[in-house]
Chains A and B, each alone.
Chain A
Amino acid sequence: MRRFTFVAGAALVVLSLLVPSAHAARKLRVVATIPDLKSLVEAVGGDLVEVDSLTRGTQNFHEAEVRPSMMLKLRRADALVENGVELDAWADVAVLGANNPNIVRGAAGRIEISRGIQLLEVPSVRVDRSMGDVHPLGNPHFSLDPGLAPIITQNIVDGLARISPDDRPAFEKNRQAFLDQLGHEMERWMKIMEPVKGAKVVAYHPDVIYFLTRFGLVQVATLEDRPGIPPSPQHLVQIIRLMKADGVKVILVEPWNDLKLAQRVADEAGAKAFVFATAVGAVKGADNYIAAIEFNVTTLAQALK
């Protein structure tokens, strides 16, 4: 009898240890359209999620090539986190080929992080393609603005909690911890950028406006005459004149754009051109959300001195 009681008790102890681990073994499979969102989902989801990204930080997200390998990632996903505002509209084609009802538009696993974001550069005039590859809903490149991280992460929490309601407290706790860390870094970044507040910069493509505005910098022009249209020589001459007149010291370039052209313009204007971390993973060392912003802040502050 004693032996039976001992064995039964041991079995119960073993089972009670196994059950939580069996439950914890099934992580939520989340796919993000861009690496910024992957990093934020990892921050919010912690150990409860395994996250993948459909694109890399060195790619142009407007023109991502839809490959069957994207469909393979999406096939098994419990959730798809997308930027919206037509930055990643190609995701619909990938979802169409993935045969996964969890992530079709309108499903609980489809999480769009642009809800509640006050967009910049929303056109107030009639929009057409004579303006280039214009975004009629507004500038979609807000994911690396640390000031918008509370809204973005709240959208992620609410989206993940729709498919895993029991884990909401954990998601909220992780979000809190991430925002605490981000808030602490933000105080330091503001101090670093304080001396260069009001400085003027030129961007190759208009995808850094949220970041610049957050830290009090001014974008005076873009190398692209119009978004997505390669610059004409006449436009470049105007940019050089403007940079000289306004004392612009920096041209920010995406990793997928023509750095050599930007450097030639910078040389003519007495400025510097360098690759900016326009996304997580865009440059070496910008491997996560905070590291990407750290790179941008420190590099920009140094270049503007």
Chain B
Amino acid sequence: MRAWAVVLALSCVASISAPAAAQEAEALRKEIEALQKQLQSVTERLQRLEAQPRPPQPAPAAPMPAPALGAAPPASLGISPADLARPRQPFSLYQQRGAGQLLFDMGVAGDFVGNLTQSNVEKAGGGTFAGQENRFFPREVELGLFGQVDPYAYAEVRIEAGEASRGGDLNVTLAEGAVTMLTLPFGTQAKFGQMRNRFGYTNLIHEHDLPWIDRPNVLRNFLGDEGLKEKGLEVTIVPDLPFYLEGLVGVFNGDNETAFGRGTLRVPMFTGRLRTFLELGDASALQLGMSVASGETGEKRRDTVLGWEARYKYRPEGWLHPLVTLTSEAIYALRRVNVDVDTDGDGLTDLIKKRERDRFGWYAGLEVQPLRRWAAGVRYDWSQFPDRPGSERAIEPYVSFWTSEFLRFRLAYKNTTRDHRDGFDLNGGTARKVDEVLFQGTFILGAHPAHPF
């Protein structure tokens, strides 16, 4: 009896599920038919659009089209146009460029400068290009290599050659060699290697990309002729905020001999920077930042350098270039120094005292570019000297001309006045008042990354 009940129950279940399964199969069949109709419709539309006639182009003769990415196999393989339109993996590589393609970008930047000045300034070595007054020379010819190392990192290497001293051999140095880790969590990136430190606005920029012929006096006085270039690690964070804010910390050897010089990770040089950006409508924007670098000098004395930066650009709607650019930076340095004290007036040092010496300097530059190829500007510098008394001021009007974005010429007149002779009176010359004509020719060959703001 029980067995019959089970058989009856199973029969009922089968009789219920069989129609249900049949219904499901019918529904699936209908869905498949609908999808097939859709695919057919899309295919026909694609064929109609692609079948629009293309008239022959006049001279210059149209080149042979290169195979498209994921080139289409012949129709005889029975692959539909819808399949051809589907991209292949991986998702996004550098575009196919043809045979012999390097896996990175390469470019050369050449920067040639010269100046004309008084003979007494040349004797004293007190011109803008100290020791190379009244000369024309290659300041920096740079080979740049940059690209993705792998999906997680980007690298750039810059090797530069330049004439460092009057009539001397060309120096070839590693200007930068650094890797940036791109896929770290929490909106961070890390950059390690040898790099131009992200301190202020101008320090990051290479000579051929500067908005002027020379680096501002305050930066050369406080950070050296070539600025702050160190070996170490920088970490940046861009937090998820409704406005742009970039925070940076870095740790380096401290090799820069002008500001630091200790050169050891046992007493590292630390850097920090905060940068923000404000869009003032479609045509204007303002970038503000504050930086700090702190380390020990070669005499094992603490030096802390603070910097402030501001950059404003006004670009009218539809213009290819900004009409007005204002740039300004200020530096304040607090350095502990050893001071010789002669207590008894006999001209001999009786004791050495530690003192704190603070020094300050700033510059402001204005550039107007009314035409695509022509710009004119002026920069004013005022700076104390970190290692000696006195100060200097300079004014430098200039004009720039571009034949294209890859070749530029500049001409400037610079007047510098110093209120102290110390350090500017070598070899019987004097460089208290300096008048210079500066000129520059710069070219770019090959790839060059886009310029930031």
Contacts and interface: CB of A to CB of B under 8 A. Distances in A.
A213 B50 CA distance: 12
B187 A63 contact: no
A247 interface: no
Contacts of B183: 101, 104, 107
A186 B185 CA distance: 46
A68 B453 contact: yes
Interface string A139-177: 000000011011100110011001000000000000010
B349 to A, nearest CB: 51
Given A89-B450, A106-B90, A198-B55, A116 B68 contact: yes
B46 A68 contact: no
Contact of A218 (B48, B55, B237, B275): B55
Given A216-B55, A220-B58, A117 B68 contact: yes
A114 B70 CA distance: 11
Contacts of A220: 58
Interface stretch (B93-101, B118-126, B265-273, B353-361): B93-101
A260 to B, nearest CB: 12
Q: Which secondary structure dominates chain B's binding surface?
A: loop
A85 B96 CA distance: 9
Given A99-B189, A146-B49, A136 B97 contact: yes
Chain A interface bracket (under 10, 10 to 19, 20 to 34, 35 or more): 35 or more
B277 A108 contact: no
Contacts of A10: none
A272 interface: no
A110 interface: yes
Given A108-B91, A111-B91, A58 B317 contact: yes
A72 B62 contact: no
Given A60-B320, A190-B52, A69 B279 contact: yes
B452 A147 contact: no
B237 A159 contact: no
Interface stretch (B81-89, B130-138, B415-423): B81-89
Given A93-B452, A101-B183, A119 B66 contact: yes
A151 B83 CA distance: 10
B38 A93 contact: no
Interface in B433-453: 445, 449-453
Interface in B287-321: 287, 313, 315, 317-320
A105 B52 CA distance: 35
Given A136-B97, A218-B58, A229-B404, A116 B70 contact: yes
B86 A72 contact: no
B55 A213 contact: yes
B453 A65 contact: yes
A179 B87 contact: no
Interface stretch (A1-9, A18-26, A122-130, A284-292): A122-130
B449 A123 contact: no
Nearest to A125: B63
A68 B93 CA distance: 25
B55 A150 contact: no
Contact of A255 (B64, B70, B318): B318
Contacts of A146: 49
Nearest to A155: B87
B49 A147 contact: yes
Nearest to A173: B38
B388 interface: no
Interface string A86-123: 10011011001111110011111011101111111111
Given A75-B240, A106-B148, A150-B49, A119 B92 contact: no
A46 interface: no
> Which of A65, A123, A230: most chain B CB closer than 10 A?
A65
A183 interface: yes
A108 B183 CA distance: 13
Given A118-B65, A147-B49, A107 B238 contact: no
Nearest to A117: B68
Contacts of B167: none
Nearest to A200: B58
B42 to A, nearest CB: 7
B449 A119 contact: no
Contacts of B347: none
A69 B276 CA distance: 9
Given A101-B183, A104-B182, A104-B183, A214 B285 contact: no
Interface string A210-248: 000110101110000000111000000000000000000
11 contacts: A68-B246, A76-B240, A107-B91, A111-B91, A115-B69, A115-B70, A119-B65, A121-B62, A132-B404, A159-B91, A214-B52
4 interchain residue pairs of minimum CB distance: A68-B277, A90-B450, A124-B63, A101-B183
Given A68-B246, A86-B95, A132-B404, 11 more contacts: A64-B450, A71-B244, A96-B180, A116-B68, A117-B68, A119-B65, A147-B50, A149-B49, A158-B86, A158-B87, A216-B53
